[in-house]
């Protein structure tokens, strides 16, 4: 109804932010969510999202327990999207814990993927795919371009 829509306004961007970065107006909108959402699904989904986000900051032993608790809460949340995510996380649990233990991120992979996509856009109109591959290798492969050394 109209009243509920008015209360929900301003929440769209607030759910994407960290709780500490919310403006006063966004905090007020969040308080309205609690009272406006009859089944409380939006607020519970946001809480689960925040718990999952902070999981990466814990040491590995604590993260293991937190991940188990999160999967349990998510699988019993009765929110179909969250239940599906819990199933995926349960399947990938060893990989997630390994990532937390090693402290790696996929930033380098995303950066190289972005660079390849930019190269593909730049190579639009090439007649042969081998030219595209050569350009990608030139930009991303890190060729060894040293001047030849004189023979001794």
Domains of the chain, by residue range, sit at: 1-38, 53-102, 107-140
Residue 26 vs residue 3, higher pLDDT: 26
Whose tokens are 């081998």? That residue is: 130
Rounded to whole angstroms, the Cα distance separating 115 from 110 reads 9
> Quick one: what percent of the chain has pLDDT higher than 90?
39
Residue 115's pLDDT is 93
Q: What is the pTM of this model?
A: 0.67
DSSP single-letter state for residue 59: -
Rounded to whole angstroms, the Cα distance separating 81 from 77 reads 10
pLDDT over threshold 90, residue 56: no
pLDDT tens, position by position, 72-95: 999 999 999 999 999 999 999 999
Calculate the CA 99 to chain-centre distance: 14
Cβ distance 67 to 88 under 8 Å? no
Confidence of residue 152 (pLDDT cuts 50, 70, 90): low
pLDDT over threshold 90, residue 124: no
């Amino acid at each position: 109804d109209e009243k509920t829509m008015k209360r929900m306004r301003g929440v769209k961007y607030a759910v994407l932010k960290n709780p500490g970065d919310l403006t006063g107006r966004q905090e007020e909108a969040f308080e309205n969510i609690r009272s406006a959402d009859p089944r409380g699904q939006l607020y519970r989904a946001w809480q689960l999202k925040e718990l999952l986000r902070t999981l990466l900051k814990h040491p590995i032993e604590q993260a293991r327990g937190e991940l188990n608790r999160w999967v349990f809460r998510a699988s019993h949340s009765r929110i179909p999207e969250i239940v599906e995510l819990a199933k995926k996380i349960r399947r990938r649990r060893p990989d997630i814990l390994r990532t937390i233990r090693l402290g790696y991120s996929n930033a380098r992979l995303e950066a190289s993927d972005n660079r390849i996509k930019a190269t593909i856009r730049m190579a639009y109109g090439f007649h042969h795919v081998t030219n595209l591959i050569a350009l990608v290798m030139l930009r991303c492969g890190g060729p060894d371009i040293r001047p030849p050394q004189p023979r001794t």
